[in-house]
Amino acid sequence: MEYNHNTLQKAILKLPLQEPNENIWEEISQKLDEEPLQNALKNLSEYEPDKRLWELIENKSVIRRHSPVAWWYAAAAILIASSIGLWMLQSNKTQIISYSEEIADSRLQISKEQVADYQYQQLKTYCETETLVCNNKDFKQLTQEYEKLRTASEQLKQAMGKYNTEPQLVRQFSIVEQEKADVLNKMAQMI
């Protein structure tokens, strides 16, 4: 049972009301201004990657497992180790001092992105709109060949490290880069 409920009600009616700060409206107004943008963002189109992309990913992972470059790298390491061993043996017998000078083509110096790769990217961009040539069987084959060479080039770059002082690897790298350029030229001719 409840007695004198009106006493409580009288007090409740006198309870103070609270007023929100003006900045609440400013924030609401700002959010309302952004509504059209937010709605548009929700409706942005989604893009499906080319089906070949998965094949490329798959190929790359296969290359990583069976790449002949890995063998070249191993061979180069053995060669370097044996050269050092021989040199040490020789140096114990005689005190002959020798030196060699390697001149590398500046175009083949390792940069973050090779010129050929940049041009290849441009070709790929072109292929996003121009699908007729790019879906050609020969063109696709060249693309795959280029991707393989690019992977090999990347692995050589990793093997060479920052200072690329191993002549064997530099030579190998320049050969691969030359091959990439040739493939790229063939692709450009088709377009």
Chain positions contacting other proteins, by CB under 8 A: 1-5, 7-12, 14-21, 24-25, 27-29, 31-32, 35
Q: How far apart are CA 75 and CA 68, in angstroms?
A: 11
CB of 37 to other proteins, least distance (A): 14
Q: How far is the CB of 114 from other proteins (least distance, A)?
A: 52
Rounded CA-CA distance 156/59 in Å is 18
Rounded to the nearest whole angstrom, what is the least distance from the CB of residue 142 to other proteins in the complex? 53
Nearer CB in complex with other proteins: 3/99? 3
56 near 147, Cβ under 8 Å?
yes
Gap between the Cα atoms of 81 and 74, Å rounded: 11
Nearer to other proteins, 8 or 133 (CB): 8
Nearer to other proteins, 36 or 49 (CB): 36
Q: How far is the CB of 29 from other proteins (least distance, A)?
A: 7
Nearer to other proteins, 32 or 96 (CB): 32
CB 116 within 8 A of CB 180: yes
Q: How far apart are CA 142 and CA 125, in angstroms?
A: 16
